[in-house]
Amino acid sequence: MKRIYIIWLSILFFISACSYDEDVSVPALPDVSSPVMPADFEFSLTYGTYGKQKVDTFKDMIIKDLVIDGTIEAEIPLTVEEKDLIYNEMLKINIMGDLDIGRELQCAIEPPSFTSWHIQMNGETKEFSYTNFCEYDGDAKNLMNLENYIHKLVAAKKAYQELPDLNGGYE
- pLDDT, tens only, 116-165: 999 999 999 999 998 876 776 788 889 999 999 999 999 999 999 999 99
State the distance between the two ends of the chain, measured CA to CA, in whole angstroms.
100
Every domain of the chain and the residues it spans: 40-161
Distances in Å between the alpha carbon of 30 and those of 23, 36, 41?
21, 11, 21
Q: CA angle, corner 69, sides to 67 and 74, nearest 5?
A: 90
Residue of 19 and 39 predicted with greater confidence: 39
What is the predicted pLDDT for the residue at 35? Answer: 83
How many Å apart are CA 121 and CA 119, to the nearest integer? 7
Domain 40-161 annotated CATH 3.40.50: no
Q: pTM of this prediction?
A: 0.76
Q: What is the helix (H) or strand (E) element at residue 127, kind and residue range?
A: strand 124-131
